[in-house]
């Protein structure tokens, strides 16, 4: 575990004030987000059937928490990693039309996560998904959506500033767009994470596009499941975070696979057997709507806006005793 302790760190707010600020940010953001993006709030599952193929496979190596259900013999349930696939199915089941969408509170357990300043085994985010037309599956649609989300986050900075002026972090005025291939061309001798940090430090906020496919160096920038985002129409929103001297990912999002990109990406990933799952069959048969969607980290957003050095300051999770002790000695109070 690699921990970073900012020199002379001062969180400004005590624990109870922090709890109040967390509630304010979460309540205010989801209200503004739903209104600006034309999204309805719906309820979402904590777990899904393994046989449905609806769970998010992330990078393909993370183990989901699974269990049997006494009332459904022979079935295995999995705690969701995210709701990337489930949301698209929900839009179909509930009859959403182009221009309409949903958001939900997503809670997950990621048992294989490395615990540090930014990563927890508990994940809490706003998962969202919106129906678009076939013709809207473009870079322009993706960029316009990213700009809207950035505008909402900037608005939240001002909202938090009114209530907690001494604690708020001031964000850059604009967001810069760049592709993973452009980063390789620009920094050919750097690792993917080093490239992210260099470009985000330079611009303050970046949307890094086209994640998942192999680049000119023969390697993908990062792992991305082949059956939800279209690798040519996705990306991550990154903010420069001075406390930790690194890029802070706030959102992973993208236009979802269609019948063509799903088949191509499953072939590239060597997992065409997934095409037998009901969810994948519905995409291949053009039964599911075309969509755009993503997740926005709730604790990550609180961490960013309140300028906190450890995600455990804004969420209740499990941490090693040694980490708790060392954090407390450096004025980082974990909830």
Output the pLDDT for position 58.
63
Residue with tokens 């989901």: 64
Q: Is 249 one of the catalytic residues?
A: yes
State yes or no: is 2 an active-site residue: no
Cβ distance 277 to 266 under 8 Å? no
Q: Are 319 and 122 in contact (CB under 8 A)?
A: no
Which of left, alpha, beta for 268 (phi over 0: left; psi -120 to 50: alpha)?
alpha
Is 195 annotated as catalytic? Answer: no
- The verdict on whether 125 is a catalytic residue reads yes
Q: What is the pTM of this model?
A: 0.90
* Catalytic position from the list 251, 252, 298, 315: 252
pLDDT of residue 54: 72
CA distance 88 to 290: 8
Residue-level pLDDT at 126? 93
Among 227, 236, 307, 313, the one annotated catalytic: 236
From the candidates 30, 82, 120, 125, give the one annotated as an active-site residue.
Answer: 125
317 a catalytic residue = no
Q: Which of 113, 159, 249, 275 is catalytic?
A: 249
The burial of 23, by beta-carbon neighbours within 10 Å (0-12 exposed, 13-18 middle, 19 or more buried), is given as exposed
Q: What are phi and psi of 254, to 5 degrees?
A: 170, 170
Length of the chain in terms of residues written: 335
**Ordered structural domains, the chain, with CATH:** 15-329 (3.30.930.10)
Local confidence pLDDT in tens for the 335 residues of the chain: 578 899 999 998 899 999 999 999 999 999 999 999 999 999 988 888 888 777 766 656 678 888 898 989 888 888 887 788 889 999 999 999 999 999 999 888 888 888 999 999 999 999 999 999 999 999 999 999 999 999 999 999 998 898 888 888 889 999 999 999 999 999 999 999 999 999 999 999 999 999 999 999 988 898 888 988 999 999 999 999 999 999 999 999 999 999 999 999 999 989 899 898 888 999 999 999 999 999 999 999 999 999 999 999 999 999 999 999 999 999 999 98
Has 68 been annotated as catalytic? no
Going by C-beta distance under 8 Å and a sequence separation of 6 or more, which residues neighbour residue 95? none
Element (H, E) at 153: helix 139-163
Beta bridge partners of 47: 79
């Amino acid at each position: 575990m690699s921990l970073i302790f900012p020199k002379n760190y001062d969180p400004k707010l005590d624990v109870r004030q922090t709890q109040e600020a967390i509630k304010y940010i979460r309540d205010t953001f989801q209200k503004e987000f739903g209104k600006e993006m034309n999204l309805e709030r719906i309820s979402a599952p904590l777990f899904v059937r393994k046989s449905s193929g609806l769970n998010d496979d992330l990078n393909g190596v993370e183990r989901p928490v699974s269990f049997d259900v006494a009332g459904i013999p022979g079935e295995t349930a999995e705690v969701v990693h995210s709701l990337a696939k489930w949301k698209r199915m929900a839009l179909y089941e509930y009859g959403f039309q182009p221009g309409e969408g949903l958001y939900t509170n997503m809670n997950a357990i990621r048992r294989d996560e490395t615990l540090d300043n930014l990563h927890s085994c508990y994940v809490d985010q706003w998962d969202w998904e919106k129906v678009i037309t076939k013709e809207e599956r473009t870079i322009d649609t993706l960029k316009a959506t990213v700009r809207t989300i950035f505008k909402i986050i900037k608005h939240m900075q001002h909202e938090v500033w009114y209530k907690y002026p001494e604690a708020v972090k001031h964000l850059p005025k604009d967001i810069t767009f760049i592709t993973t291939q452009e980063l390789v061309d620009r920094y050919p001798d750097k690792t993917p994470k080093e490239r992210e940090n260099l470009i985000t430090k330079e611009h303050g906020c970046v949307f890094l596009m086209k994640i998942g496919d192999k680049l000119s160096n023969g390697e993908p920038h990062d792992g991305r499941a082949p059956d939800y985002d279209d690798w040519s129409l996705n990306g991550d929103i990154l903010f420069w975070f001075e406390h930790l001297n690194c890029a802070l990912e706030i959102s992973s999002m993208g236009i979802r696979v269609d019948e063509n990109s799903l088949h191509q990406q499953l072939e590239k990933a060597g997992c065409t057997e997934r095409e037998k799952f009901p969810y994948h069959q519905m995409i291949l048969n053009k039964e599911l709507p075309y969509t755009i969607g993503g997740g926005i980290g709730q604790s990550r957003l609180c961490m960013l806006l309140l300028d906190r050095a450890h995600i455990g300051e804004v969420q209740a999770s499990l941490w090693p005793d040694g980490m708790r002790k060392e954090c407390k000695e450096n004025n980082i109070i974990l909830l």
